[in-house]
């Protein structure tokens, strides 16, 4: 182990660990060394350790932390286990990168951040979809004030046939929710970041457990086929989460955002954030800027350095982590932004369940 590198441990050896976290840490090999992995299946942990040249593997996270004493831990377990393993890693003095969503409730998210702050630790939710050329370009325009006062946003993440056929995304006990918290959270976080973290006031949401007869493939549900569990593990009758969610979030200052998210819907595929301001509007998916009656132009995008990398957003996050640990930068993903996202997540599911508008102040 090089003493000039930060020691990394990974809890959970599923697709996102194999496809995003470990490759990104190893890309920045001058700063990080992945020294251990842990999974509930010792065979899986051993397989991943061998595949990536990692020296230690475990099926007991606390034993790993006690023996390895890592500087940073990536938590890549199902959503329902995030808090348990984030808190465990921090109790052993590690900074933590946690897969999204950090938490399903504001109370849990606050507890984790309060512990991190009290102990001088960084806790980062891996909200990796901010980092696209189009969204960087939109952020520059907004920060320069070129849109004027923005009063409306629309976020859309639609798959026609993309119910996950691998893992436990479709089981509430493990995931906490369905399409909204799986893929909708990405565009939600990006919109919150673009708008400078506006204060949400209320949410009215609807969720639907409607699916088509064609479930789709692992690749169609956002997976790399070589890095997922076999689709035979998926049973449609086990699914007890929403496949479609829609609604409105009202923010302070008269700003409103609508959303629609689907794993499975008879609609066109979308992955978009649309913003309308007094001076201009932006369609990020199509990289178009609208001004005046008929004027439109191409959105100036910002090239990204990770061309060809799968899950390149994680490379941004881990590059930023190295700079933060060296004292050269601030966090790109700020706790207050993740708390805003968590407030909206909790309010969406509560609103849908109770069939009413939920005030953020109720949380």
**Which CATH superfamily groups domain 130-303?**
Dihydrodipicolinate Reductase; domain 2 (3.30.360.10)
Percent of the chain with pLDDT over 70: 93
Q: What percent of the chain has pLDDT over 90?
A: 83
Query: Taking 70 as the threshold, does the pLDDT of residue 140 lie above it?
Result: yes
Q: Is the pLDDT of residue 225 over 90?
A: no
Output the pLDDT for position 224. Answer: 53
Q: Is the pLDDT reported for residue 162 higher than 50?
A: yes
pLDDT digits (tens, 9 = 90+) for 304-361: 899 888 899 999 999 999 999 999 999 999 999 999 999 999 999 999 999 999 999 9
Name the pLDDT band for 228 (thresholds 50, 70, 90).
low
Nearest to 195 by CA among 249, 146, 139, 273: 139
DSSP 240-309: -S-SEEEEEEEETTTEEEEEEEESB-SS--EEEEEEEESS-EEETTTTEEEETTTEEEE------S-TT-
User: Is pLDDT above 80 for 84?
Assistant: yes
With residues binned 3-state (H G I as helix, E B as strand, rest as coil), the percentages for the chain, rounded to 5, are: 40, 25, 35
Give 6's pLDDT tier (boundaries 50, 70, 90): very high
Instruction: Give the pLDDT confidence score for residue 2 in this predicted structure.
Output: 62
pLDDT at position 233 over 70: no
Mean pLDDT of the chain: 93
- Give the number of other Cβ atoms within 10 Å of residue 233's Cβ: 12
Q: pLDDT digit string (tens) for 96-125?
A: 999 999 999 999 999 999 999 999 999 999
User: Residue 303 has what pLDDT?
Assistant: 87
What pLDDT is attached to residue 244? 96
Q: Is 53 left (phi over 0), alpha (psi -120 to 50) or beta?
A: left
* Domain locations along the chain: 6-126+309-330, 130-303
Q: Which CATH architecture has domain 6-126+309-330?
A: 3-Layer(aba) Sandwich (3.40)
* Amino acid 308: pLDDT: 83
- Mean pLDDT value of segment 212-220: 58
More reliable by pLDDT, 169 or 247: 247
Q: Which residues pair with 251 in a beta bridge?
A: 200, 255
Q: Which of 148-152, 165-169, 172-176 has the lowest mean pLDDT?
A: 165-169
pLDDT at 141 over 90: yes
Q: Under a CB-based contact definition with an 8 Å cutoff, are residues 32 and 318 in contact?
A: yes
pTM of the model: 0.94
Residue-level pLDDT at 295: 83
Closest-CA residue to 36 (of 69, 10, 2):
10
Q: Average pLDDT for residues 128-147, to the nearest whole number?
A: 95
pLDDT at residue 231, rounded to an integer: 46
**pLDDT tens sequence across 39-72:** 999 999 999 999 999 999 999 999 999 999 999 9
Is residue 219 over pLDDT 60? no
Ranges 53-67, 119-133, 214-228: which has the least confidence: 214-228
pLDDT value of residue 20:
96
Q: What is the pLDDT of residue 109?
A: 98
Q: What is the pLDDT at residue 47?
A: 97
């Amino acid at each position: 182990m090089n003493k000039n590198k930060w020691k990394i441990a990974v809890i959970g050896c599923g697709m996102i660990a194999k496809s995003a976290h470990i490759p990104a840490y190893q890309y920045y090999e001058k700063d990080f060394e992945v020294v251990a992995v842990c999974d509930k299946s010792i065979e899986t942990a051993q397989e991943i350790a061998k595949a990536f040249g990692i020296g230690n593997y475990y099926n007991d996270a606390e034993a790993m932390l006690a023996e390895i004493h890592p500087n940073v831990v990536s938590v890549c377990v199902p959503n329902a286990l995030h808090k348990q393993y984030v808190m465990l890693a921090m109790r052993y003095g590690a900074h933590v990168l946690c897969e999204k969503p950090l938490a399903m409730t504001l109370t849990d998210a606050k507890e984790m951040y309060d512990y991190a702050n009290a102990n001088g630790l960084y806790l980062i939710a891996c909200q990796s979809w901010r980092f696209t050329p189009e969204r960087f370009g939109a952020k520059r325009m907004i920060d320069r004030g070129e849109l004027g006062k923005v009063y409306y946003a629309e976020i859309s993440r639609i798959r026609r046939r993309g119910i996950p056929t691998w893992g436990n995304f479709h089981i509430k006990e493990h995931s906490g929710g369905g399409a909204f918290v799986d893929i909708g959270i990405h565009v939600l976080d990006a919109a919150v970041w673009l708008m400078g973290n506006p204060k949400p006031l209320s949410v009215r949401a609807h969720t639907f457990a409607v699916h088509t007869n064609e479930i789709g493939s692992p690749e169609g549900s956002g997976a790399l086929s070589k890095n997922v569990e076999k689709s035979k593990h998926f049973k449609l009758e086990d699914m007890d989460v929403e496949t479609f969610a829609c609604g409105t979030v009202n923010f302070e200052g008269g700003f409103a955002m609508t959303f629609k998210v689907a794993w499975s819907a008879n609609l066109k595929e979308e992955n978009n954030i649309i913003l309308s301001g007094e001076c201009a509007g932006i369609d990020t998916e199509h990289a178009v800027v609208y001004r005046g009656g008929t004027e439109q132009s191409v959105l100036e995008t910002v090239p990204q350095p990770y061309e060809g990398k799968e899950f390149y957003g994680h490379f941004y996050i881990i590059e930023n982590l190295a700079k933060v640990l060296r004292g050269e930068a601030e966090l790109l993903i700020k706790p207050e932004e993740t708390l805003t996202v968590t407030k909206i997540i909790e309010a969406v599911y509560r609103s849908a369940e109770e069939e009413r508008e939920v005030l953020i102040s109720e949380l």
